[in-house]
Amino acid sequence: MQVHKAEIVISAVQPEQYPKTKLPEIALAGRSNVGKSSFINTLINRKGLARTSGKPGKTQTLNFYLIEEALHFVDVPGYGYAKVSKTERVKWGQMIETYITEREQLKAVVSLVDFRHDPSEEDVQMYNFLKYYEIPVIVVATKSDKIKRSQWNKHEAAIKRKLVFDATDDFIIFSSETKEGKEEAWKAIENFL
Ligand code: GDP
């Protein structure tokens, strides 16, 4: 998809605030700092629409972006901040769970993992959670520019092993620096619209 129009429509905490449209939604989830904002900005050809590197303690909201009047990207707040209190963590979990399990418009989740490292426990939990609810997953391995091409197969295999990756899901190697995987990511997303 060639994106010319993208805008944030709402930062929601409650289901009542979700957009009232029936447009398909693609949610994006990953650890803080994984490169989620950079991924969104790359796909929509913007430098700074999605905020990069949300700081700990910032309001945990689901940010809905309207793309080409055709779909919503739903930016899920990053997990994995050690400093977040238990209460906040529980609130975050409930918000995500409600959204993912109850939202009819949700077509697939882009689950971002760092291509350099084995997935964290939270990455694995998120993947299992999505599989349990039978939500299609597009795994995006970020920051591929930081790994030599000769090592790509090894890293891909390690990530898939740790996730117990389901071969019916998509696995995309991505870099917001080189734009590697941008077209492939759009193709995978468009399959679910
Ligand atoms: P978020 O917290 O998941 O939204 O992550 P950001 O998009 O803010 O990225 C976190 C950090 O990783 C920033 O310093 C980015 O510049 C950097 N980063 C993100 N994507 C890439 C990438 O593809 N390659 C490289 N080398 N750095 C990246």
Query: pLDDT of 158-177, one tens digit each?
Result: 999 999 999 999 999 999 99
Which tens digit of pLDDT belongs to each residue from 139-163? 999 999 999 999 999 999 999 999 9
The alpha carbon of 34 and the centre of ligand 1 are apart by a number of angstroms equal to 6
Q: Which domains does the chain have, with CATH numbers?
A: 6-190 (3.40.50.300)
Mean pLDDT estimate for the chain: 92
Q: Using a 6 Å cutoff on CB, does residue 142 contact ligand 1? A: yes
Q: Identify the pLDDT of residue 26.
A: 98
Q: Using a 6 Å cutoff on CB, does residue 111 contact ligand 1? A: no
Q: Identify the pLDDT of residue 47.
A: 85
Which tens digit of pLDDT belongs to each residue from 76-105? 988 776 667 888 888 888 999 999 999 999
Decide if 34 contacts 28 (C-beta within 8 A): no
The alpha carbon of 102 and the centre of ligand 1 are apart by a number of angstroms equal to 30
79: Cα separation from own chain's centroid: 11
Ligand 1 site-directed mutation target among 37, 52, 75, 76, most atoms within 8 Å of CB: 52
Q: Using a 6 Å cutoff on CB, does residue 32 contact ligand 1? A: yes
- CA separation for the pair 99, 76 (Å, rounded): 10
Q: Nearest 5 degrees, angle CA 56-CA 71-CA 2?
A: 95
Which tens digit of pLDDT belongs to each residue from 110-141? 999 999 999 999 999 999 999 999 999 999 99
- The yes-or-no verdict on residue 55 having pLDDT over 60 is no
Which tens digit of pLDDT belongs to each residue from 29-39? 999 899 999 99
**129: Cβ contacts below 8 Å, ≥ 6 apart:** 97, 100
Q: Using a 6 Å cutoff on CB, does residue 21 contact ligand 1? A: no
Q: Using a 6 Å cutoff on CB, does residue 41 contact ligand 1? A: no
Decide if 120 contacts 32 (C-beta within 8 A): no
Burial class (CB in 10 A: 0-12, 13-18, 19+), 178: exposed
